[in-house]
Chains A and B, each alone.
Chain A
Amino acid sequence: MSTIFLAVIIGASFGAVLDRVGATSPNYIGKMLNLTNLHLAKAILLAIGVGSVLMFGGQMAGLVDVGHMSVKTAYMGVFLGGLMLGVGWAASGYCPGTGLAAAASGRRDALVYAAGGLLGAAAYMLTYPMWKTAGLLTGKALTLGAVPGAEYDALVPGVSGDLAGILVGVALIVTAYVLPDRIISSPTTAPAE
């Protein structure tokens, strides 16, 4: 039961913070992806960096259970699926988590998005054997360096996975600070008719 209690606390915090950081608004997502307002990109980079430094630092200090790590397998379908997700993410302004959170926050188009998502997930359930047969789902779960106590292989063996994680985390935090507020400087005018 205590894990259910944690699910409620951590889940509710995640949803509330997503909303407060602007991630439930397709306006912020759209302006991040068309490079006119990088507020959300900075927030996400900072968040990943902070999470990384705390997690790997905690693991080095023995305060965080390495067994809680959950590294996914890297395979061809990860990139292809990422491309597909990217198109729909940009067109709608919603990813799976923020779409559900936005629907809960009162956005009706997000509810429609979630319905499409249920159908898309069902379509994948039915076509999964095809991808598996094509060999696009096989790969390895890798981390950058070797993380002590974790069973994952390292991309660069011999490198401390904990130190690598802290360094990458710091790099992400620095990136969040140095990233400009916008990359495309002025709204491009619509093409002439």
Chain B
Amino acid sequence: MILNWKLGGLALGLVFFAAVLLVKPIGVSTQFVILDGILWNAVNPEVVTQTTDGAYTSTNAYLAKSGGKYAKSIANPLNYSFVFVLAMMLGAFASSWLRNGVPASEKLMPAIWRNNYGDSTAKRFAIAFASGFVVLYGARLAGGCTSGHMMSGMMQTAISGYIFAAGAFAAAVPTAVLMFTKEA
């Protein structure tokens, strides 16, 4: 059910190539900001505004940066990058469904976690939530994530991609070696 690395890697590489051939390199983490902005703007419509010359801006400095490109995406959620992420989820859902879904024992926590830290859903969810927080905070500070910096960046020989990968693995490998001493 899991493709071997040669086939899987080739398929993934072809998707990276198709993305840059047809549109632009793949990236995901910005869309967390866009969804936040959509929600924030729904609660308070003054967050994202359109100036008289048609450009978009925001009361939030981050959303207003780079000529208001995030503000523009928030005002127009039907844009390439946002739809790309929604479609990615749809593709993962379909692929998972076709292999009969995630096994029941894996739905709340993965085996590697259970074998090291036991059955507590609260514990797993707390770590998952905190991890999501630091990962997305870090990704926005870095200006991209594993997709945009590591995969797309390294594919383009972007120096930022190598710097990001160095930082990510320098932290991730010791963390995983220390945290997961028992195998799944």
A contacts, CB < 8 Å to B: 3-4, 6-22, 24-28, 30-31, 33-36, 39-40, 42-52, 54-55, 58, 64-65, 68-75, 77-110, 112-126, 128-129, 131-132, 136, 139, 141-145, 155, 161, 164-165, 168-169, 172, 176, 184, 187-191
Contacts and interface: CB of A to CB of B under 8 A. Distances in A.
B106 interface: yes
6 contacts: A11-B85, A26-B112, A47-B9, A79-B166, A115-B129, A123-B137
Contact of B167 (A39, A82, A95): A82
Q: Among A4, A13, A116, A190, find the residue whose CB has the most chain B CB atoms closer than 10 A.
A: A116
A121 B28 CA distance: 12
B118 interface: no
B6 A94 contact: no
A116 B133 contact: yes
A96 B20 CA distance: 20
A69 B102 contact: no
A34 to B, nearest CB: 4
B131 A89 contact: yes
B110 A93 contact: yes
Contacts, number: 520
Nearest to A41: B5
Given A11-B83, A70-B152, A106-B102, A161 B136 contact: no
Contact of A18 (B20, B88, B160): B88
A113 B145 CA distance: 15
A4 to B, nearest CB: 5
A99 B82 CA distance: 16
A82 B132 contact: no
- The majority secondary structure among interface residues of chain A is helix
Given A47-B16, A82-B163, A118-B32, A165 B2 contact: no
Contacts of B153: 71-72
A12 B32 contact: no
Contacts of A92: 127-128, 131-132, 135
Given A12-B90, A144-B159, A58 B21 contact: yes
Q: Among A36, A85, A115, A126, find the residue whose CB has the most chain B CB atoms closer than 10 A.
A: A85
Contacts of B133: 88, 116-117, 119-120, 123
Contacts of B4: 39
A19 B5 contact: no
Contacts of A7: 23, 80-81, 83-84, 87
Nearest to B1: A20
A81 to B, nearest CB: 3
B120 to A, nearest CB: 12
Given A55-B156, A113-B132, 5 more contacts: A26-B112, A85-B145, A91-B175, A104-B88, A124-B33
